[in-house]
A and B are shown apart, each in its own frame.
Chain A
Protein backbone atom coordinates (compact mmCIF):
# COMPACT_ATOMS: atom_id res chain seq x y z
CA UNK A 1 0.00 0.00 0.00
CA UNK A 2 2.75 2.45 0.98
CA UNK A 3 4.87 1.32 -1.98
CA UNK A 4 1.98 2.17 -4.26
CA UNK A 5 1.45 5.56 -2.68
CA UNK A 6 5.15 6.30 -3.04
CA UNK A 7 5.11 5.18 -6.66
CA UNK A 8 2.20 7.51 -7.39
CA UNK A 9 3.90 10.36 -5.60
CA UNK A 10 7.08 9.87 -7.60
CA UNK A 11 5.05 9.78 -10.82
CA UNK A 12 3.21 12.97 -9.91
CA UNK A 13 6.26 14.93 -8.78
CA UNK A 14 8.57 13.37 -11.35
CA UNK A 15 8.08 15.61 -14.41
CA UNK A 16 8.53 18.80 -12.35
CA UNK A 17 11.65 17.47 -10.68
CA UNK A 18 13.12 16.27 -13.98
CA UNK A 19 12.42 19.60 -15.72
CA UNK A 20 14.16 21.39 -12.84
CA UNK A 21 17.18 19.08 -13.02
CA UNK A 22 17.46 19.61 -16.78
CA UNK A 23 17.49 23.36 -16.38
CA UNK A 24 19.92 23.27 -13.48
CA UNK A 25 22.39 20.95 -15.20
CA UNK A 26 21.78 21.97 -18.82
CA UNK A 27 22.18 18.30 -19.73
CA UNK A 28 19.26 15.99 -20.57
CA UNK A 29 21.13 12.71 -20.13
CA UNK A 30 22.78 13.69 -16.87
CA UNK A 31 19.46 14.97 -15.50
CA UNK A 32 17.62 11.80 -16.48
CA UNK A 33 20.23 9.53 -14.93
CA UNK A 34 20.34 11.57 -11.73
CA UNK A 35 16.53 11.64 -11.61
CA UNK A 36 16.29 7.85 -11.98
CA UNK A 37 18.79 7.44 -9.15
CA UNK A 38 16.78 9.83 -6.95
CA UNK A 39 13.59 7.85 -7.61
CA UNK A 40 15.28 4.57 -6.77
CA UNK A 41 16.62 6.06 -3.55
CA UNK A 42 13.14 7.38 -2.68
CA UNK A 43 11.56 3.95 -3.11
CA UNK A 44 14.17 2.56 -0.76
CA UNK A 45 14.36 5.32 1.86
CA UNK A 46 10.77 6.52 2.20
CA UNK A 47 9.20 3.24 3.42
CA UNK A 48 11.80 3.07 6.20
CA UNK A 49 12.01 6.74 7.21
CA UNK A 50 8.58 7.95 6.20
CA UNK A 51 7.60 10.48 3.56
CA UNK A 52 9.58 13.74 3.49
CA UNK A 53 7.62 16.92 4.06
CA UNK A 54 8.27 18.14 0.52
CA UNK A 55 8.86 15.09 -1.69
CA UNK A 56 9.62 17.17 -4.81
CA UNK A 57 12.33 19.13 -3.05
CA UNK A 58 13.73 15.92 -1.58
CA UNK A 59 13.95 14.32 -5.03
CA UNK A 60 15.56 17.46 -6.48
CA UNK A 61 18.24 17.66 -3.79
CA UNK A 62 19.10 13.97 -4.06
CA UNK A 63 19.05 14.25 -7.87
CA UNK A 64 21.47 17.19 -7.80
CA UNK A 65 23.87 15.36 -5.49
CA UNK A 66 23.76 12.37 -7.77
CA UNK A 67 24.40 14.58 -10.83
CA UNK A 68 27.49 16.01 -9.15
CA UNK A 69 28.78 12.49 -8.41
CA UNK A 70 28.30 11.62 -12.07
CA UNK A 71 30.04 14.80 -13.26
CA UNK A 72 33.05 14.20 -11.02
CA UNK A 73 33.64 10.94 -12.87
CA UNK A 74 33.68 12.64 -16.27
CA UNK A 75 36.79 13.76 -18.15
CA UNK A 76 37.63 17.29 -16.94
CA UNK A 77 37.52 18.99 -20.35
CA UNK A 78 33.74 18.73 -20.86
CA UNK A 79 32.27 22.24 -20.41
CA UNK A 80 29.66 22.61 -17.65
CA UNK A 81 26.65 24.81 -17.03
CA UNK A 82 27.40 27.57 -14.49
CA UNK A 83 25.13 26.06 -11.81
CA UNK A 84 26.95 22.75 -12.06
CA UNK A 85 30.45 24.17 -11.89
CA UNK A 86 29.50 26.42 -8.97
CA UNK A 87 28.09 23.46 -7.08
CA UNK A 88 31.21 21.44 -7.89
CA UNK A 89 33.45 24.20 -6.59
CA UNK A 90 31.41 24.63 -3.42
CA UNK A 91 31.25 20.84 -2.97
CA UNK A 92 27.62 21.21 -2.01
CA UNK A 93 24.25 21.56 -3.63
CA UNK A 94 21.59 24.10 -2.95
CA UNK A 95 18.53 22.45 -1.48
CA UNK A 96 15.95 21.78 -4.18
CA UNK A 97 12.50 23.31 -4.56
CA UNK A 98 13.09 26.61 -6.32
CA UNK A 99 9.90 28.66 -6.67
CA UNK A 100 9.96 28.74 -10.50
CA UNK A 101 9.60 24.98 -11.09
CA UNK A 102 6.44 25.61 -13.10
CA UNK A 103 8.46 27.74 -15.48
CA UNK A 104 10.88 24.87 -15.84
CA UNK A 105 8.17 22.60 -17.22
CA UNK A 106 7.09 25.29 -19.68
CA UNK A 107 10.73 25.84 -20.74
CA UNK A 108 11.08 22.11 -21.21
CA UNK A 109 7.94 21.98 -23.37
CA UNK A 110 9.24 24.73 -25.66
CA UNK A 111 12.66 23.11 -25.82
CA UNK A 112 11.47 19.61 -26.74
CA UNK A 113 8.98 21.10 -29.25
CA UNK A 114 11.62 23.29 -30.90
CA UNK A 115 11.13 23.31 -34.69
CA UNK A 116 14.82 22.42 -35.09
CA UNK A 117 13.78 18.91 -33.98
CA UNK A 118 11.74 16.62 -36.24
CA UNK A 119 8.16 16.22 -35.06
CA UNK A 120 8.42 12.48 -34.19
CA UNK A 121 11.41 13.37 -32.01
CA UNK A 122 9.45 16.22 -30.38
CA UNK A 123 6.64 13.81 -29.54
CA UNK A 124 8.96 11.14 -28.12
CA UNK A 125 10.85 13.69 -26.01
CA UNK A 126 7.65 15.28 -24.70
CA UNK A 127 6.23 11.90 -23.68
CA UNK A 128 9.53 10.87 -22.10
CA UNK A 129 10.35 14.01 -20.16
CA UNK A 130 7.02 15.74 -19.50
CA UNK A 131 4.68 12.75 -19.21
CA UNK A 132 7.22 10.38 -17.67
CA UNK A 133 6.57 7.50 -20.10
CA UNK A 134 9.33 4.93 -20.47
CA UNK A 135 11.07 4.39 -23.81
CA UNK A 136 9.29 1.03 -24.06
CA UNK A 137 5.89 2.65 -23.52
CA UNK A 138 6.58 5.30 -26.17
CA UNK A 139 7.73 2.61 -28.63
CA UNK A 140 4.54 0.59 -28.07
CA UNK A 141 2.42 3.72 -28.48
CA UNK A 142 3.94 4.32 -31.92
CA UNK A 143 4.01 0.64 -32.85
CA UNK A 144 7.74 0.79 -33.49
CA UNK A 145 10.61 -1.32 -32.16
CA UNK A 146 12.05 -0.03 -28.88
CA UNK A 147 15.58 0.50 -30.30
CA UNK A 148 14.08 2.86 -32.92
CA UNK A 149 12.50 5.01 -30.21
CA UNK A 150 15.64 4.87 -28.11
CA UNK A 151 17.72 5.99 -31.10
CA UNK A 152 15.27 8.82 -31.82
CA UNK A 153 15.56 10.06 -28.24
CA UNK A 154 19.35 9.82 -28.24
CA UNK A 155 19.65 11.76 -31.50
CA UNK A 156 17.22 14.46 -30.36
CA UNK A 157 19.01 14.94 -27.04
CA UNK A 158 22.34 15.07 -28.84
CA UNK A 159 21.03 17.76 -31.18
CA UNK A 160 19.72 19.82 -28.26
CA UNK A 161 23.16 19.62 -26.64
CA UNK A 162 25.36 20.03 -29.72
CA UNK A 163 23.40 22.67 -31.64
CA UNK A 164 22.63 24.30 -28.27
CA UNK A 165 18.87 24.62 -28.48
CA UNK A 166 18.17 26.97 -25.57
CA UNK A 167 16.18 25.91 -22.51
CA UNK A 168 13.82 28.86 -22.50
CA UNK A 169 10.35 30.16 -23.22
CA UNK A 170 10.69 32.16 -26.46
CA UNK A 171 10.57 35.97 -26.24
CA UNK A 172 7.20 37.68 -26.75
CA UNK A 173 7.80 38.42 -30.45
CA UNK A 174 8.42 34.73 -31.21
CA UNK A 175 5.91 33.27 -28.78
CA UNK A 176 2.89 33.06 -31.13
CA UNK A 177 4.86 31.29 -33.86
CA UNK A 178 6.50 28.86 -31.44
CA UNK A 179 3.27 28.21 -29.54
CA UNK A 180 1.70 27.08 -32.84
CA UNK A 181 4.37 24.39 -33.11
CA UNK A 182 3.86 23.27 -29.51
CA UNK A 183 0.08 23.04 -29.97
CA UNK A 184 0.37 21.10 -33.21
CA UNK A 185 2.73 18.57 -31.58
CA UNK A 186 0.29 18.10 -28.69
CA UNK A 187 -2.62 17.65 -31.12
CA UNK A 188 -0.62 15.07 -33.07
CA UNK A 189 -0.10 13.06 -29.86
CA UNK A 190 -3.82 13.26 -29.24
CA UNK A 191 -4.72 12.14 -32.76
CA UNK A 192 -2.37 9.19 -32.53
CA UNK A 193 -4.23 8.08 -29.44
CA UNK A 194 -7.62 8.88 -30.90
CA UNK A 195 -7.15 6.84 -34.07
CA UNK A 196 -5.91 3.84 -32.07
CA UNK A 197 -9.25 2.09 -32.12
CA UNK A 198 -8.04 -1.35 -33.10
CA UNK A 199 -7.31 -4.43 -30.98
CA UNK A 200 -3.78 -3.44 -30.05
CA UNK A 201 -5.12 -0.48 -28.07
CA UNK A 202 -4.89 -2.35 -24.76
CA UNK A 203 -1.09 -2.24 -24.88
CA UNK A 204 -1.05 1.42 -25.90
CA UNK A 205 -0.54 3.87 -23.09
CA UNK A 206 -3.29 6.41 -23.18
CA UNK A 207 -1.91 9.00 -25.57
CA UNK A 208 -5.16 10.98 -25.44
CA UNK A 209 -4.82 11.40 -21.69
CA UNK A 210 -1.16 12.41 -22.04
CA UNK A 211 -2.00 14.96 -24.75
CA UNK A 212 -4.77 16.41 -22.59
CA UNK A 213 -2.32 16.60 -19.72
CA UNK A 214 0.12 18.57 -21.89
CA UNK A 215 -2.75 20.76 -23.11
CA UNK A 216 -3.71 21.55 -19.52
CA UNK A 217 -0.09 22.34 -18.74
CA UNK A 218 0.06 25.00 -21.47
CA UNK A 219 -3.27 26.54 -20.46
CA UNK A 220 -2.18 26.64 -16.83
CA UNK A 221 1.30 28.05 -17.48
CA UNK A 222 0.51 30.44 -20.34
CA UNK A 223 -2.80 31.90 -19.22
CA UNK A 224 -4.72 34.03 -21.70
CA UNK A 225 -3.74 32.16 -24.87
CA UNK A 226 -7.07 31.59 -26.63
CA UNK A 227 -5.78 28.98 -29.07
CA UNK A 228 -4.18 26.92 -26.30
CA UNK A 229 -7.58 26.88 -24.59
CA UNK A 230 -9.18 26.09 -27.94
CA UNK A 231 -6.97 23.03 -28.35
CA UNK A 232 -7.67 21.82 -24.81
CA UNK A 233 -11.42 22.25 -25.40
CA UNK A 234 -11.18 20.41 -28.72
CA UNK A 235 -9.37 17.45 -27.15
CA UNK A 236 -11.78 17.26 -24.20
CA UNK A 237 -14.83 17.35 -26.49
CA UNK A 238 -13.41 14.66 -28.78
CA UNK A 239 -12.33 12.51 -25.87
CA UNK A 240 -15.84 12.71 -24.40
CA UNK A 241 -17.13 10.67 -27.34
CA UNK A 242 -14.43 7.98 -27.10
CA UNK A 243 -16.43 5.40 -25.07
CA UNK A 244 -19.05 5.29 -27.85
CA UNK A 245 -16.73 5.34 -30.86
CA UNK A 246 -16.05 1.62 -31.14
CA UNK A 247 -18.40 -1.35 -30.92
CA UNK A 248 -17.43 -4.37 -28.82
CA UNK A 249 -15.95 -6.12 -31.85
CA UNK A 250 -13.74 -3.08 -32.53
CA UNK A 251 -15.80 -1.73 -35.44
CA UNK A 252 -15.90 2.03 -35.78
CA UNK A 253 -19.30 3.48 -34.92
CA UNK A 254 -20.12 6.61 -36.96
CA UNK A 255 -21.20 9.70 -35.05
CA UNK A 256 -24.87 9.44 -36.03
CA UNK A 257 -25.10 5.84 -34.75
CA UNK A 258 -23.25 6.36 -31.46
CA UNK A 259 -25.01 5.69 -28.16
CA UNK A 260 -25.04 9.25 -26.87
CA UNK A 261 -25.72 8.14 -23.28
CA UNK A 262 -22.18 6.75 -23.26
CA UNK A 263 -20.60 10.15 -23.93
CA UNK A 264 -18.73 11.55 -20.95
CA UNK A 265 -20.85 14.45 -19.62
CA UNK A 266 -18.11 15.67 -17.31
CA UNK A 267 -15.66 16.09 -20.18
CA UNK A 268 -18.31 17.76 -22.36
CA UNK A 269 -19.11 20.33 -19.66
CA UNK A 270 -15.45 21.02 -19.01
CA UNK A 271 -14.64 21.30 -22.71
CA UNK A 272 -17.54 23.67 -23.30
CA UNK A 273 -16.49 25.86 -20.35
CA UNK A 274 -12.88 26.04 -21.58
CA UNK A 275 -14.12 26.92 -25.06
CA UNK A 276 -16.37 29.70 -23.73
CA UNK A 277 -13.39 31.20 -21.90
CA UNK A 278 -11.30 31.03 -25.09
CA UNK A 279 -13.95 32.59 -27.33
CA UNK A 280 -14.48 35.43 -24.84
CA UNK A 281 -10.88 36.54 -25.47
CA UNK A 282 -11.87 37.63 -28.97
CA UNK A 283 -8.86 36.04 -30.72
CA UNK A 284 -10.37 33.32 -32.91
CA UNK A 285 -8.26 30.59 -34.49
CA UNK A 286 -8.45 27.13 -36.04
CA UNK A 287 -8.47 25.17 -32.74
CA UNK A 288 -11.31 27.24 -31.34
CA UNK A 289 -13.28 26.81 -34.58
CA UNK A 290 -12.77 23.03 -34.53
CA UNK A 291 -13.72 22.93 -30.85
CA UNK A 292 -16.87 24.93 -31.60
CA UNK A 293 -17.79 22.35 -34.27
CA UNK A 294 -17.13 19.49 -31.84
CA UNK A 295 -19.25 21.29 -29.22
CA UNK A 296 -22.22 21.56 -31.60
CA UNK A 297 -21.99 17.81 -32.24
CA UNK A 298 -21.92 16.78 -28.60
CA UNK A 299 -24.65 19.23 -27.57
CA UNK A 300 -27.23 17.60 -29.86
CA UNK A 301 -29.33 15.15 -27.86
CA UNK A 302 -30.19 13.20 -31.04
CA UNK A 303 -28.38 13.19 -34.41
CA UNK A 304 -31.32 14.99 -36.04
CA UNK A 305 -30.99 17.83 -33.51
CA UNK A 306 -27.52 18.70 -34.82
CA UNK A 307 -27.22 22.33 -35.92
CA UNK A 308 -25.79 21.60 -39.38
CA UNK A 309 -26.20 25.13 -40.83
CA UNK A 310 -24.07 26.47 -37.95
CA UNK A 311 -21.51 23.67 -38.40
CA UNK A 312 -21.30 24.39 -42.15
CA UNK A 313 -20.75 28.08 -41.36
CA UNK A 314 -17.96 27.21 -38.89
CA UNK A 315 -16.28 24.99 -41.48
CA UNK A 316 -16.49 27.92 -43.90
CA UNK A 317 -14.67 30.09 -41.35
CA UNK A 318 -12.11 27.34 -40.75
CA UNK A 319 -11.53 27.07 -44.48
CA UNK A 320 -10.83 30.80 -44.72
CA UNK A 321 -8.47 30.55 -41.74
CA UNK A 322 -6.51 27.44 -42.71
CA UNK A 323 -7.43 26.25 -46.20
CA UNK A 324 -6.77 22.56 -46.87
CA UNK A 325 -8.48 19.95 -49.05
CA UNK A 326 -9.34 17.87 -45.96
CA UNK A 327 -11.11 20.81 -44.30
CA UNK A 328 -12.86 21.37 -47.63
CA UNK A 329 -14.10 17.76 -47.61
CA UNK A 330 -15.49 18.24 -44.11
CA UNK A 331 -17.10 21.50 -45.18
CA UNK A 332 -18.72 19.74 -48.13
CA UNK A 333 -20.04 16.99 -45.84
CA UNK A 334 -21.54 19.63 -43.51
CA UNK A 335 -23.13 21.45 -46.45
CA UNK A 336 -24.67 18.12 -47.53
CA UNK A 337 -26.28 17.81 -44.10
CA UNK A 338 -27.39 21.44 -44.00
CA UNK A 339 -28.63 21.90 -47.56
CA UNK A 340 -29.12 18.40 -48.95
CA UNK A 341 -26.86 15.68 -50.39
CA UNK A 342 -26.74 17.19 -53.93
CA UNK A 343 -25.03 20.38 -52.77
CA UNK A 344 -22.38 18.42 -50.89
CA UNK A 345 -21.91 15.90 -53.67
CA UNK A 346 -21.29 18.60 -56.24
CA UNK A 347 -18.53 20.10 -54.06
CA UNK A 348 -16.97 16.68 -53.48
CA UNK A 349 -16.96 15.93 -57.21
CA UNK A 350 -15.08 19.17 -57.79
CA UNK A 351 -12.56 18.13 -55.10
CA UNK A 352 -12.28 14.71 -56.75
CA UNK A 353 -11.51 16.26 -60.15
CA UNK A 354 -8.87 18.55 -58.62
CA UNK A 355 -6.90 15.42 -57.64
CA UNK A 356 -5.80 17.12 -54.38
CA UNK A 357 -7.14 14.24 -52.28
CA UNK A 358 -6.08 11.43 -54.63
CA UNK A 359 -5.43 8.30 -52.55
CA UNK A 360 -7.42 9.55 -49.55
CA UNK A 361 -10.12 6.95 -48.80
CA UNK A 362 -12.47 9.33 -46.97
CA UNK A 363 -13.32 11.27 -50.15
CA UNK A 364 -14.90 8.30 -52.05
CA UNK A 365 -16.34 7.09 -48.71
CA UNK A 366 -18.12 10.44 -48.23
CA UNK A 367 -19.29 10.45 -51.86
CA UNK A 368 -20.59 6.89 -51.43
CA UNK A 369 -22.52 7.91 -48.34
CA UNK A 370 -24.24 10.81 -50.13
CA UNK A 371 -25.03 8.66 -53.19
CA UNK A 372 -26.52 6.07 -50.83
CA UNK A 373 -28.72 8.73 -49.23
CA UNK A 374 -29.85 9.85 -52.69
CA UNK A 375 -30.80 6.26 -53.57
CA UNK A 376 -28.22 6.09 -56.37
CA UNK A 377 -27.15 2.57 -55.33
CA UNK A 378 -25.08 1.64 -58.38
CA UNK A 379 -22.91 4.74 -58.18
CA UNK A 380 -22.65 4.29 -54.39
CA UNK A 381 -21.30 0.74 -54.89
CA UNK A 382 -18.60 2.01 -57.25
CA UNK A 383 -17.61 4.73 -54.77
CA UNK A 384 -17.48 2.23 -51.83
CA UNK A 385 -15.26 0.05 -54.04
CA UNK A 386 -12.88 2.97 -54.58
CA UNK A 387 -12.82 3.72 -50.85
CA UNK A 388 -12.17 0.07 -49.96
CA UNK A 389 -9.23 -0.05 -52.38
CA UNK A 390 -7.62 2.80 -50.43
CA UNK A 391 -8.59 2.21 -46.77
CA UNK A 392 -5.90 0.83 -44.46
CA UNK A 393 -7.34 0.85 -40.95
CA UNK A 394 -9.12 -2.47 -40.28
CA UNK A 395 -11.96 -0.89 -38.22
CA UNK A 396 -12.71 1.59 -41.00
CA UNK A 397 -12.54 -1.21 -43.58
CA UNK A 398 -15.12 -3.26 -41.68
CA UNK A 399 -17.38 -0.22 -41.48
CA UNK A 400 -17.21 0.40 -45.26
CA UNK A 401 -17.78 -3.30 -46.01
CA UNK A 402 -20.85 -3.27 -43.80
CA UNK A 403 -22.24 -0.20 -45.59
CA UNK A 404 -21.55 -1.77 -49.00
CA UNK A 405 -23.26 -5.03 -47.97
CA UNK A 406 -26.31 -3.09 -46.74
CA UNK A 407 -26.79 -1.73 -50.28
CA UNK A 408 -27.63 -5.30 -51.33
Chain B
Protein backbone atom coordinates (compact mmCIF):
# COMPACT_ATOMS: atom_id res chain seq x y z
CA UNK B 1 0.00 0.00 0.00
CA UNK B 2 1.39 3.42 -0.96
CA UNK B 3 0.92 6.47 1.24
CA UNK B 4 1.84 10.10 0.72
CA UNK B 5 3.40 11.74 3.74
CA UNK B 6 2.72 15.49 3.58
CA UNK B 7 4.95 17.64 5.75
CA UNK B 8 3.41 20.82 7.11
CA UNK B 9 5.34 23.30 9.17
CA UNK B 10 5.69 26.98 9.90
CA UNK B 11 7.93 28.68 7.33
CA UNK B 12 8.40 31.49 9.83
CA UNK B 13 9.94 28.95 12.19
CA UNK B 14 12.32 27.80 9.45
CA UNK B 15 13.42 31.31 8.53
CA UNK B 16 14.11 32.25 12.14
CA UNK B 17 16.48 29.31 12.61
CA UNK B 18 20.19 29.94 12.99
CA UNK B 19 22.60 28.53 10.42
CA UNK B 20 23.75 25.62 12.61
CA UNK B 21 20.10 24.81 13.37
CA UNK B 22 19.25 24.69 9.66
CA UNK B 23 22.27 22.47 9.01
CA UNK B 24 21.21 20.21 11.84
CA UNK B 25 17.69 19.96 10.37
CA UNK B 26 19.03 19.09 6.90
CA UNK B 27 21.27 16.46 8.43
CA UNK B 28 18.27 14.92 10.19
CA UNK B 29 16.27 14.88 6.95
CA UNK B 30 19.19 13.31 5.08
CA UNK B 31 19.32 10.59 7.73
CA UNK B 32 15.54 10.10 7.61
CA UNK B 33 15.53 9.79 3.81
CA UNK B 34 18.40 7.32 4.05
CA UNK B 35 16.50 5.26 6.64
CA UNK B 36 13.43 5.17 4.38
CA UNK B 37 15.55 4.11 1.43
CA UNK B 38 17.42 1.45 3.43
CA UNK B 39 14.13 -0.02 4.65
CA UNK B 40 13.06 -0.25 0.98
CA UNK B 41 9.88 1.77 1.51
CA UNK B 42 10.83 5.06 -0.21
CA UNK B 43 9.12 5.61 -3.57
CA UNK B 44 9.46 9.39 -4.08
CA UNK B 45 9.89 12.59 -2.15
CA UNK B 46 11.19 16.12 -2.15
CA UNK B 47 11.45 19.30 -0.21
CA UNK B 48 9.37 22.14 -1.71
CA UNK B 49 10.34 25.77 -2.20
CA UNK B 50 8.49 28.20 0.11
CA UNK B 51 4.76 28.84 -0.26
CA UNK B 52 5.59 32.37 -1.47
CA UNK B 53 6.79 30.77 -4.73
CA UNK B 54 3.45 28.97 -5.23
CA UNK B 55 1.02 29.85 -7.99
CA UNK B 56 -2.54 28.56 -8.14
CA UNK B 57 -4.45 28.04 -11.36
CA UNK B 58 -8.16 27.40 -11.86
CA UNK B 59 -10.16 27.07 -15.07
CA UNK B 60 -13.67 28.48 -14.73
CA UNK B 61 -16.06 28.70 -17.65
CA UNK B 62 -13.17 27.86 -19.95
CA UNK B 63 -11.15 30.80 -18.66
CA UNK B 64 -7.87 30.46 -16.89
CA UNK B 65 -7.51 32.24 -13.55
CA UNK B 66 -4.00 32.40 -12.22
CA UNK B 67 -3.39 33.72 -8.71
CA UNK B 68 -0.29 34.26 -6.63
CA UNK B 69 0.17 32.06 -3.58
CA UNK B 70 -0.88 28.61 -2.37
CA UNK B 71 -4.44 27.24 -2.60
CA UNK B 72 -5.11 28.00 1.06
CA UNK B 73 -3.37 30.45 3.40
CA UNK B 74 -2.69 28.56 6.62
CA UNK B 75 -0.44 28.89 9.63
CA UNK B 76 1.44 25.78 8.60
CA UNK B 77 2.53 25.37 5.01
CA UNK B 78 3.22 22.29 2.90
CA UNK B 79 6.99 22.10 2.88
CA UNK B 80 7.70 18.70 1.40
CA UNK B 81 6.45 15.17 0.86
CA UNK B 82 7.43 11.54 0.68
CA UNK B 83 5.67 8.66 -1.02
CA UNK B 84 6.25 5.43 0.88
CA UNK B 85 5.12 1.85 0.37
CA UNK B 86 4.32 -0.06 3.57
CA UNK B 87 1.88 -2.82 4.58
CA UNK B 88 -0.68 -0.69 6.45
CA UNK B 89 -1.57 2.62 8.13
CA UNK B 90 0.14 1.59 11.36
CA UNK B 91 3.56 1.35 9.73
CA UNK B 92 2.88 4.49 7.67
CA UNK B 93 2.19 6.36 10.93
CA UNK B 94 5.33 4.89 12.50
CA UNK B 95 7.42 6.28 9.64
CA UNK B 96 5.57 9.62 9.69
CA UNK B 97 6.24 9.99 13.42
CA UNK B 98 9.97 9.63 12.74
CA UNK B 99 9.94 12.57 10.29
CA UNK B 100 12.04 15.39 11.83
CA UNK B 101 9.22 17.93 11.35
CA UNK B 102 6.75 15.77 13.33
CA UNK B 103 8.21 17.39 16.47
CA UNK B 104 7.13 20.96 15.63
CA UNK B 105 4.92 20.65 12.55
CA UNK B 106 2.14 18.31 11.41
CA UNK B 107 2.46 15.30 9.17
CA UNK B 108 -0.59 14.24 7.15
CA UNK B 109 -0.67 10.64 5.95
CA UNK B 110 -2.98 9.63 3.12
CA UNK B 111 -3.25 6.47 1.07
CA UNK B 112 -2.78 6.84 -2.67
CA UNK B 113 -5.81 5.73 -4.68
CA UNK B 114 -5.52 2.08 -5.78
CA UNK B 115 -5.29 2.95 -9.49
CA UNK B 116 -2.17 5.05 -8.88
CA UNK B 117 -0.33 2.11 -7.32
CA UNK B 118 1.80 -0.05 -9.55
- A residues adjacent to B (C-beta < 8 A): 79, 114, 116, 162-166, 168, 170
Contact = CB atoms under 8 A, between A and B. Distances in A.
B54 interface: no
Given A162-B111, A164-B111, A116 B88 contact: no
Nearest to A171: B90
B93 A164 contact: no
Interface of B: 1, 87-90, 93, 109-111, 114
A116 B111 contact: no
Contacts of A170: 90
Contacts, number: 23
A79 B89 CA distance: 17
B90 A163 contact: no
A76 to B, nearest CB: 14
A383 B65 CA distance: 59
Contacts of B110: 163
B90 A168 contact: yes
Contacts of A79: 114
Contacts of B88: 164-166
Given A163-B111, A164-B111, A166-B89, 11 more contacts: A79-B114, A114-B89, A116-B89, A116-B93, A163-B89, A163-B110, A164-B1, A164-B89, A165-B88, A165-B89, A166-B88
Find the residue from A114, A116, A163, A170 having the highest chain B CB count within 10 A: A163
A164 B93 CA distance: 11
The 9 closest A-B pairs by CB, nearest first: A166-B88, A164-B88, A163-B89, A166-B90, A165-B89, A164-B1, A163-B111, A164-B89, A162-B111
Nearest to B109: A163
A166 B90 CA distance: 7
Nearest to A165: B89
Contacts of A164: 1, 87-89, 111
A249 B22 CA distance: 67
A168 B87 CA distance: 13
Find the residue from A79, A116, A162, A164 having the highest chain B CB count within 10 A: A164
A373 B109 CA distance: 55
Nearest to B94: A174
14 contacts: A116-B93, A163-B89, A163-B109, A163-B110, A164-B1, A164-B88, A164-B89, A164-B111, A165-B88, A166-B87, A166-B88, A166-B89, A166-B90, A170-B90
A6 B90 CA distance: 39
Find the residue from A114, A162, A168, A170 having the highest chain B CB count within 10 A: A162
Contacts of A163: 89, 109-111
B68 to A, nearest CB: 34
Contacts of B111: 162-164
Nearest to B114: A79
